Amino acid sequence: MQFKTEIISIPDEYEGGHFFRSFADGTPAISATITPPGTISEPHIDQAGSGTLLIQLLGRKVFVVWPPMEKNLEWFSDMYGIHYGAIFEAALEHLEQPECLIFEQGQYHILPPGYIHDVL
């Protein structure tokens, strides 16, 4: 199965930059994750080394994001995948500079590489 990358255009401010990983021919390496209503995720980092384009196709979704500051990444590296159970509450207590993003249908946001985020 072949997918066309023309379906979703990369915003002009990121064209030609090194925001998204690329294949050898220069086209962006894009993957998609589609989640149903009610999806909740624990804090995580997507596709290390590449930015993430978050698009809300239907409904509403709330994201909490934290920048990849040294303190945040150090705390996160000791928690993610090591401890069983929810770490969202601990992340709110320990990580710095959280930002809440509320997406309505049709809205998008570019998440730079390395940002810790979760979905509520």
State how far the Cα of 27 lies from the Cα of 25, in Å rounded to an integer. Answer: 6
Side-chain half-sphere CA neighbours of 77 within 13 A? 9
- Averaged pLDDT for residues 72-101: 82
> Over the stretch 37-69, which tens digit does the pLDDT of each residue have?
888 888 888 766 677 778 888 888 899 999 999
Tell me: pLDDT of 9 over 70: no
Please report which confidence band the pLDDT of residue 79 belongs to, taking 50, 70 and 90 as the band edges: confident
Instruction: Identify the pLDDT of residue 5.
Output: 43
Per-residue confidence (pLDDT) for residue 55, from 0 to 100: 83
Buried b (16+ CB within 10 A) or exposed e, 46-68: bbeebbbbbebeeeebebbbbee
- At residue 95 the predicted structure's pLDDT band, cuts being 50, 70 and 90, is very high
Residues 6+ apart with CB under 8 A from 90: 79
H/E segment holding residue 12? none
DSSP 56-119: --SSEEEEEEE---HHHHHHHHHHTTTS-S--HHHHHHH-SS-EEEEEETT-EEEE-TT-EEEE
User: pTM for the whole thing?
Assistant: 0.71
Q: Which pLDDT value is given to residue 97?
A: 95
> Does pLDDT of 1 surpass 70?
no
